[in-house]
Chains A and B, each alone.
Chain A
Amino acid sequence: MRRVVVTGMGMITPLGCGVDVNWDRLTRGESGIRAIDRFDVSDLPARIAGQVPMRSEAPWGLDPDEVVDSKERRRMDDFILYGLAAAHEAILDAGWTPTDEEEQERTGVIIGSGIGGLNTIAETSIQLEKSGPRRVSPFFIPAALINLVSGHVSIRYGFKGPNHAVVTACSTGAHAIGDGARLIAFGDADVMVAGGAEAPLCRLGMAGFASARALSTHFNDTPTEASRPWDKDRDGFVMSEGAGVVILEELEHAKKRGAKIYAEVLGYGLSGDANHITAPSPDGAGACRAMTGALRNSRVNADQVDYINAHGTSTPAGDEVEVKAVKRLFGDHAMKLSMSSTKSAVGHLLGAAGAVEAIYTIQAMRNSLIPPTLNLHEPSEGCDIDLTPLKAREREIHYAMSNSFGFGGTNASVLFKRAP
């Protein structure tokens, strides 16, 4: 089987634009969660989120003009803007901008989203009610379609290989990386631009997730304390926006062009809970099967895994289930490995989460530093493994796993090996 490595990374999160600033702020224990200031939240139970900072707010913020011109921007939902920004960083980082026709045909894109252009759909729907069908923009559909991040990236950079988009709720980013790696392993492409993008922060999105009782509502006055995976006072996740994109590349292809190699995508496991539309299966069997799958096809023993970047969303049910699954699979080794949830700092980026967290996982391996689980003061019952509370911790990491679980009971685990 052809081996697949990561040769480029790009991200935009509530902590800022770019891998370096993200890693720096994340490992210092900073939080990207704050009060929502973009739309009216006065009647919503959850009034905080992880908003992508703008350049006018912080030096690490996003300047949309650097990504697209104003004409183009009006024609795409923010999730596409974020996806393009992350893809651009990753592509430049990998130094892969082929002009040769054959190389372009061997390069594909697989960037998904959990929901796609929700705010665009909401606003256009209001426009339809108010002004009738003749006022619905011809750009409405392409502005909202999930696969249009992949479409725009392909058009912009001339990538003519597989053009795909994953839609598996909060597992999207992880599935995109796993599936993208398989497309390379199977020979459909030599390079895949893979990841996820999400922009769910609008009244409709907040109201929907709040009604599903998924969001934290007790920390509206102390936003940075709201995302607290495994802590006994946790009460739901904090919704966030952004994107993560990696460049996946066939090992020999990367070596031949002298690309820097960050990590190898060694294993990938998928499973379905077959249980409930929003709740995880209480015994963690689905999560366990995904992790088992990732170990099996990487031929790595469970006791070789040093770090798990958990799904860990800060919901009362999900967090404990994941620990249960880890204990079940890893046995005694569960007490020796380290786990953390970077959602404690950035919140839950839904379809972008898996890709953003894969990048954090790779950064953890490269820097021998485990990013902390913020706000974990008192773990709830059974959460007695090393969850890296409050402060980043040094640890050499040879193999690391990133977990993602989504609504619909869809689970994915990706196993990475540190670059030699």
Chain B
Amino acid sequence: MTDVAERVKKIVVEHLGADEAKVTENASFIDDLGADSLDTVELVMAFEEEFGCEIPDDAAEKILTVKDAIDYIKEHSA
């Protein structure tokens, strides 16, 4: 489980084409990393794929930062 944070960050860098240094835990996908609403949908799909979990739409809407994603995945993957 320790590598969840690293795996999440890697996906964010790949999908948003974001600068690695900017992808901190507190970074907001939209405000800090230049994502738009379609990007965030795609990100959540990539998380689901990577971690083999399903993130329902109402939960996905609350994943706004890198930390939100890490926390959700840690909590919901067995």
Contact = CB atoms under 8 A, between A and B. Distances in A.
Interface of A: 69-71, 134-135, 137-139, 142
Interface residues of B, number: 10
A69 B49 CA distance: 23
A135 B48 CA distance: 9
Nearest to A131: B49
Nearest to A141: B38
Contacts of B5: none
A70 B17 contact: yes
B42 A139 contact: yes
A137 B42 contact: yes
Nearest to B56: A134
A71 B38 contact: no
B41 A134 contact: no
A135 B42 CA distance: 9
A71 B45 CA distance: 16
A138 B54 contact: no
B54 A134 contact: yes
A139 B38 contact: yes
Contacts of B15: 71
A138 B42 contact: yes
Contacts of B48: 134
12 contacts: A70-B17, A71-B15, A71-B17, A134-B48, A134-B54, A135-B45, A135-B49, A138-B38, A138-B42, A138-B45, A139-B42, A142-B38
Interface string B28-59: 00000000001001100100110000100000
B16 interface: yes
A137 B42 CA distance: 6
Contacts of A139: 38, 42
A406 B48 CA distance: 44
A346 B38 CA distance: 37
A71 B49 CA distance: 18
A142 B41 CA distance: 14
A69 B17 contact: yes
B54 to A, nearest CB: 7
Contacts of B17: 69-71
Contacts of B45: 134-135, 137-138
Contacts of B54: 134
Contacts of A142: 38
Q: Which of A135, A138, A139 has the most B CB atoms < 10 Å from its CB?
A: A138
Contacts of B16: 71
Contacts of B49: 135
B43 to A, nearest CB: 10
Given A69-B17, A70-B17, A71-B16, 7 more contacts: A71-B15, A134-B48, A135-B45, A137-B45, A138-B41, A138-B42, A139-B38
Contacts of A69: 17
A65 to B, nearest CB: 13
Contacts of B42: 137-139
Nearest to A71: B17
Sort A-B residue pairs by CB-CB distance and give the 5 closest, nearest first: A71-B17, A138-B41, A138-B38, A138-B42, A139-B38
